[in-house]
A and B are shown apart, each in its own frame.
Chain A
């Protein structure tokens, strides 16, 4: 049996189930307790688990990220919520220099089983300092794992896997997806990290996306279908480790690839995917790999400019048409 639940509920279920399963798991962050979560992801969890396991913190990302990392080093399994991943920049030193490196630098004497989670990338007019996609800053770091689900079912399965993983795992959510509904199987357990998912079959082009952009890619694919172009959509789900095989299998079939993401173009996830595809499937390519990304500027506050900066289905359609050599869009 499956239930149709919202993305935020799927995340909450995952955390509750894991906290019930393992008493070492706890949640910590700004507004996670008494306020029931800035985006109501942790609604009801304070009542359920009490103040020792659902901990409200001051506005001090560097501080509570550091506390979490210390707790993980000594055997607890913290979930740290950032109100937005943009604010994680304050904790970047802790995540990069401690969480990611402790295991290697301690010669395996310490693990760091910690989850960092929160909304990432754009929302609606929250300004430049709250709107950027931070995933590729972290996906470049060995020692971290980064996931970015697009559907409630994946959110639940990946969150459970993240909590059980002995390494630091960053769960990139999307404020605009929290209310999105989807089928979640009653018996859903863990979805392994590092596995992409082909969410739409097609033969002419592979569109690689993740998080909210998977939905944009699906809209574009529906539009393209009306024009006789069959697009396959690969939802990465996991950015590090990156599921090369699923991407390459698809490109081997379609011979063309467009990557869509909300990060900036320079050195983004799209660049990583494009590099791997051209390196590992060069002979499968019939066209250059194109990227559709947020534009190379700080996010404008103005609503229309914001929409112009963020990838929209029509931009994906235009990129696909270029790689399938259909007109000069």
Chain B
């Protein structure tokens, strides 16, 4: 039974992806977990693997196509199966379609003839016109057509010569009513088509004229049309200096997508740098937006605009925490030496302890482990902490599941492994989905303190700076001490000041008495 393969969700915030390259072609046999294609999502270049086995009967999108989440991309079934009903379904209603490229043409025809003889019907209870029409482009069958079958529509076109498939062998409808995917322009880069490549702006004629008349610079702008074509509806966005993000309207952010980690920097700037007002000044360099960058720009803008943030900052004394960390690492080294293992013992970081501490604090103040929905506040029963990881193109937030139930060493090795795969763009969608609370740590970059943007739909994010050596007044004496500033950004619809403060007090208590982090 043939079935349609839809574009799967390959990253938490994916709404569309660029199918950079198919690894299978029509007619190929596919086994479960075979690599079908590579897809550039907003997060990474992901592998799209087969969930079922069968023969790849039809590819519905070409290399380099921008594909929406859930959009049909291929049809998988048995060799020679008639896929016209599915194609009609894909084509939007009564769209007839051609037979899939058969693995072996003769087989396909035989099965067609078979279907005719046995009066096999399509999804609608009638063999769709598609099939009928398709037969017109297939060599005529010798079987006598039964009355009222699609054969009546058959045999209009000459039989194709030889075995070779025409390059474009779409359905009758495809050939007249479809706009094909834009033809490849230059060698497709791994980033897929761009609105401007090699200086050429890829825009509709109307957009070019309007841009000329209104003095809008399209260079470097990204369009929402097929293949990144800049179309009329992108004009206002480009004119206003914001990035045009592809796709029609963004999908609703339900309780589903967990997105980006948060970045202290401002969201992405203009996609199309305005020409300097003063003549003679050098033009800025335009860097086309990656899928990830577009998502960061959109989601963080939405978050900052729509989520009422407020910030609570504390300075925690962390001499004991630092000492505790050193103690743990010494113990780990000693155990490794005793076991005579070849491998280097893992090192626990302050951040690992922080993740565990936050998990424990959230278990005690569950109101901060919550998210807003228009109907209700959802208080999560699981504590899944999203940890921001900087990658070359932006940020991703792999999730440490049930962090409250894991040991610090388990959390540490998990974060190390997740971060490694994040940098290699190898994270799976589900590994970035459905966190309940985020931590963003810029300490390693020498930042003392900052305020992070909430990662929707979570209710809060903790921004952590670096450990600072500072004089501390203790019992009237100035002593050398270590401090760590952290700022909790709260969604005021979910968390009130007192609740946020309660959480931070709990966290401070844990960090200043670190043994409690592991003893609970």
Contacts and interface: CB of A to CB of B under 8 A. Distances in A.
Interface of A: 128, 255, 265, 282-288, 290-293, 295-302, 304-305, 307-309, 312, 314-315, 318-319, 322-323, 325-329
> Which residue among B152, B156, B231 has the maximum number of chain A CB atoms within 10 Å of its CB?
B152
Contact of B152 (A296, A301, A314, A318): A301
> Which residue among B92, B95, B149, B176 has the maximum number of chain A CB atoms within 10 Å of its CB?
B176
A140 B215 CA distance: 42
Interface stretch (B205-213, B252-260, B342-350): B205-213
A300 B206 contact: no
Interface stretch (B27-35, B127-135, B406-414, B458-466): B127-135
A296 B172 CA distance: 6
Interface of B: 68, 71, 91-96, 124, 126-130, 132-133, 136, 148-150, 152-154, 156, 172-173, 175-179, 204-209, 224-226, 231-233, 248
A284 B153 contact: no
A326 B91 CA distance: 14
Given A286-B206, A308-B129, A314 B172 contact: no
B206 A329 contact: no
24 contacts: A255-B204, A255-B232, A265-B175, A286-B205, A286-B207, A287-B231, A290-B179, A291-B177, A292-B176, A293-B176, A295-B172, A295-B176, A297-B132, A297-B154, A301-B152, A302-B148, A304-B126, A305-B152, A309-B133, A315-B92, A322-B179, A325-B226, A326-B248, A328-B68
A318 B179 contact: no
Contacts, number: 124
Contacts of B68: 327-328
Contacts of A299: 153
A328 B68 CA distance: 8
A128 B94 contact: no
Contacts of B226: 325
A283 B224 CA distance: 19
A308 B177 contact: no
A286 B177 contact: no
Contacts of B179: 287-288, 290, 322-323
Given A128-B152, A314-B93, A326-B248, A302 B126 contact: yes
A260 to B, nearest CB: 10
Contact of B94 (A286, A298, A312): A312
Contacts of B206: 255, 283-286
Contacts of A284: 205-206, 209
Contact of A295 (B129, B152, B208, B233): B129
A130 to B, nearest CB: 14
Contacts of B149: 302
A291 B232 contact: no
B129 A315 contact: no
Task: Give 9 closest A-B pairs by Cβ, nearest first.
Answer: A308-B129, A314-B93, A318-B92, A265-B176, A283-B209, A300-B153, A286-B206, A329-B92, A286-B232
A119 B226 CA distance: 41
Contacts of B150: 300, 302, 305
Contacts of A305: 126-129, 132, 150, 152-153
Given A286-B206, A295-B172, 4 more contacts: A286-B231, A287-B225, A295-B133, A305-B128
Contacts of A285: 204-206
Given A302-B126, A328-B71, A296 B176 contact: yes
A12 to B, nearest CB: 35
Contact of B92 (A265, A286, A314): A314
B204 A287 contact: yes
Nearest to A258: B177
B205 A308 contact: no
A297 B136 contact: yes
B148 A301 contact: yes
A284 B93 CA distance: 30
Contacts of A291: 176-177
Nearest to B88: A308
Contacts of A328: 68, 71
B58 to A, nearest CB: 16
A270 to B, nearest CB: 9
B400 to A, nearest CB: 37
Given A285-B204, A293-B176, A304-B126, A325 B136 contact: no
Given A286-B232, A309-B129, A300 B152 contact: yes
Contacts of B132: 297, 300, 305
Contacts of B127: 305
A325 B92 contact: no
Contacts of A309: 96, 129, 133, 153
A325 B248 contact: yes
Contact of B225 (A255, A301, A314, A325): A325
B94 A307 contact: yes
Contacts of A319: 177
A282 B96 contact: no
Contacts of A265: 175-176
Contacts of B95: 315, 318
Nearest to A291: B176
Contacts of B205: 282-286
B363 to A, nearest CB: 44
Nearest to B127: A305
A297 B127 CA distance: 16
> Which residue among A290, A305, A307 has the maximum number of chain B CB atoms within 10 Å of its CB?
A305
> Which residue among A283, A288, A297, A319 has the maximum number of chain B CB atoms within 10 Å of its CB?
A297
> Which residue among A128, A283, A286, A290 has the maximum number of chain B CB atoms within 10 Å of its CB?
A286
A194 B233 CA distance: 34
Nearest to B156: A297
A285 B209 CA distance: 10
Given A287-B231, A318-B93, A297 B176 contact: no
A325 B231 contact: yes
A284 B133 CA distance: 35
A232 to B, nearest CB: 15
A329 B90 CA distance: 8
Nearest to B126: A304
Nearest to B212: A283
A287 B182 CA distance: 12
B94 A314 contact: yes
Nearest to A252: B206
Contacts of A307: 94
Contacts of B207: 286
A286 B152 CA distance: 39
A323 B233 CA distance: 12
Contacts of A304: 124, 126, 129
